[in-house]
A = this chain, B = another copy of it.
Amino acid sequence: MPVADYARVVWAIIAKDAMVEWRTKTAFLSAMVFAILVLSILFFARDPTAVSSLDVAPGALWVTFTFAAMVGLNRAFLLERENGAMDGMLLTPIPRTAIFVGKMGGNLLFVALVEAISIPLFILFYNVSLAGRLPQLILVTAMATVAFVAVGTLLSAMVVRTRFAELMLPVLLLPFLIPPVVSAVQVTARILAGRPLSEMMPWLKLLAGFDIVFCVLTVLLFEATLDE
């Protein structure tokens, strides 16, 4: 299949997901509510005399992102299950990987949107100043997000077919979140503290490695989850 056609199909899937989400807005609003809730729980949970809000900020940010992503991932494949819509895609001659990449693109869009809204809220709540370091924060966010959306998309494709298994997505996904989330937290903490790039490098390398390995692996393994 020529690259242009491949891209067109991937885009069709992303656009469809975006349209469905736009019509219902449920997942997005739930994710936002969850984000606000987590940000405030962690804000109020600390003893203000002992811990400054800045110290818990990186953790709060990443816990928020992680769980918001979970809400989105779960929904993305439920959508395909509802009326057996996945069958409609599988009948067409498009490559299986295009379906995966399309669904992953939709999920990325979703999580990115939640993140884009959470970051300002986070800056507001936790009163952090990011002068000039916002690009760095965006970079690390993007890197970590790609990592867990790739794995999450693959796992939710399987979990959704085991029926009544909403709990299983977190159970399977969370171990895979440890490396990207921990790295991201570490990098974020250093960014907020204004440390030099060199101090973040080991973590960034880890993240980059994780991204590359798992993006390739998940695309390859997706087909194995399909052929019945």
Q: Which chain A residues have a beta carbon within 8 Å of chain B's beta carbons? A: 20-21, 23-27, 29-34, 36-38, 40-42, 44-47, 50-51, 55-56, 58-60, 62-63, 66-67, 70-71, 74-75, 78-79, 159, 164-171, 173-175, 177-178, 181-182, 185-186, 188-189, 193
Contact = CB atoms under 8 A, between A and B. Distances in A.
A162 B75 CA distance: 14
Given A56-B45, A56-B59, A37 B185 contact: no
For the complex formed by this chain, how many copies does it contain in all? 2
B30 A71 contact: no
A45 B51 CA distance: 13
B37 A178 contact: yes
A120 B55 CA distance: 25
A31 B67 CA distance: 11
Contacts of A36: 174
A29 B165 CA distance: 12
A130 to B, nearest CB: 17
B20 A164 contact: yes
